[in-house]
Amino acid sequence: MSAVSSSSAPAGAPAPAPSSNLKRTLLIMAGVWIGGMIVLFVIFGSGGRNSTYQPQNEFKLDNWVHLGVFSINKAVLYLLLAAIATCASMIYIAKRMQSRPNKVQTAVEMLYQLMRDNITGGNLDEKMAKRWFPFIATLFLFIMFSNLVGYIPLPTNTEHKIDVLGLHIPSFSLYAATANLSIPLVLALLVFISYTFEGIRAKGPIGYLKGLVPGGVTGGMAVFIFGLELLSNFMRLMSLSIRLFANILAGHLIILFMAGALAVILGVSALAWFTIPFGILLFAFEVGLVAALQAFIFATLTAIYLGGAVAEDH
Amino acid sequence: MHIAFITLLAAVTEETAKAGKSIGLGVGGGLGAVGAGVGIGIIFGKAIEAITRQPEMRDEITQLQWLGFALTEACFFYGLVAGLLAAFIV
């Protein structure tokens, strides 16, 4: 508690500058923000630590439809939503192409150009780029849509129900298919299999394994480097999947904490007033940058791995 | 002396486990953030340097900069995931 009140003291201190209008508005906003928090704290006080609320339950997967291994839970729903959103939006736009594009078509054309010229064209030669463009573009769009769908609050939290006119409906929550390790892992496996397959097709099984060792290295050193490269090939699986999963999960976690979970756990309602602006800022950051950036990284790395697998010299 | 210390440890074993988990989360999240913060700072600093030297290569540099940013940022999340594993699952 003392940490919160002490942090508020220096920010409220500076004297108002009447010269600048913007500065005054900002100062008033900061004053309202910090003053409101102090007032709320004085009124409501601290309710003590709340040990019944478990933040990890927000990410728990309950089976809704029991079908053994194929049970339908929250992640499956989000996976389907992302797939439908990807296919529907792209087919819709492709069918309504016009010579004088509107704003949406311009945006999609920019995405297409990014995928064709930068992601595939920049990392693969012409023949490979043509062959693998559909795969890489689909990965990019699917991951981006999956991340973005995850930031729309949907009534999927069956752990906590809310009561609306006598109906128990699940409360709204954020979740994304990519915030679950399985889905990025499957995508990474797909990438692993395709670039290994492509490398073996280009150079033959023996040639592909030989190609792992850089030219000019011989003897015991070559054996050591071969082991290292083989290991790094499997590490790619981990790094590809964990990068995507952890970015999205951490984004959801920090939004959850800033949007109120911190206040609930610590039992200080006034803290929610303090953290909610950070929550909104982080939400904008995640939607605006991280969602598209992670898709871009995944697709770019796929292209780089594919290019590396068929390259003549290592 | 030693035996007394061990019995003392055994007596508070549950609390110690809790403390260890907290330390795991703190080290995973905190040190991960330190490393990634330094790395991201270097990437953006170097990108600004490169763009001021060769403004005509701005687009290419920006693309590489975001690639490097995301790869570095991921290292923070490896630490964080390990910390969360230590705190909630192990």
Query: Does A300 contact B at CB distance below 8 Å?
Result: yes
pLDDT score for A1: 39
pLDDT score for B1: 59
Q: Which candidate, A141, A117, A142, places its Cα nearest to that of A129?
A: A117
Query: Does A256 contact B at CB distance below 8 Å?
Result: no
Q: Give me the tens of pLDDT residue by residue for chain B, a chain 90 residues long.
A: 577 776 666 666 777 778 888 888 888 888 888 999 999 999 999 999 999 999 998 888 888 888 888 888 888 888 888 888 888 776
Token pair belonging to A53: 């609320």
The pLDDT-based confidence of A10 (bands split at 50, 70, 90) is very low
Which of the pair, A14 or A88, is modelled with greater confidence? Answer: A88
Highest mean pLDDT among A9-13, A275-279, A308-312: A275-279
* Mean pLDDT on A108-117: 89
Residues in Cβ contact with A222 at an 8 Å cutoff, skipping those fewer than 6 apart: A213
Interface test with B, best of A242, A253, A254 (most B CBs within 10 A): A242
Domains of chain B: 40-90 (1.20.20.10)
pLDDT score for A15: 52
pLDDT at A118 over 80: yes
State the ipTM, two decimals: 0.71
Which SS3 state, helix, strand or coil, does residue A113 take?
A: helix
Interface test with B, best of A293, A298, A304, A305 (most B CBs within 10 A): A293
Q: What is the mean pLDDT of chain A?
A: 83
pLDDT score for A60: 77
Highest mean pLDDT among A14-28, A77-91, A199-213, A227-241: A77-91
pLDDT score for A4: 43
Give, for A210, the enclosing helix (H) or strand (E): helix A182-211
| Amino acid code (one letter) for A298 | F
pLDDT at A124 over 90: no
pLDDT score for A222: 84
pLDDT at A45 over 80: no
Q: Which candidate, A131, A130, A112, places its Cα nearest to that of A194?
A: A131
- Looking at chain A, which residue has its C-alpha nearest residue B66? A293
Residue A174 Cα distances to A84, A133, A248, B10, B14, angstroms: 18, 31, 11, 42, 34
* Contact (CB, 8 A) for A145 and A86: yes
* Contact (CB, 8 A) for A109 and A116: no
Contact: A247, B78; criterion CB under 8 Å: no
Neighboring chain B residues of A247 at a CB cutoff of 8 Å: 73-74, 77
Rounded distance between C-alpha atoms, residue A14 and residue A7, angstroms:
14
| Strands A154-164 and A167-173, sheet pairing | antiparallel
User: Nearest CA of chain A to the CA of B81: how many Å?
Assistant: 7
* Contact (CB, 8 A) for A187 and A259: no
What's the DSSP call for residue A46? B
CB-CB neighbours of A99 under 10 Å: 4
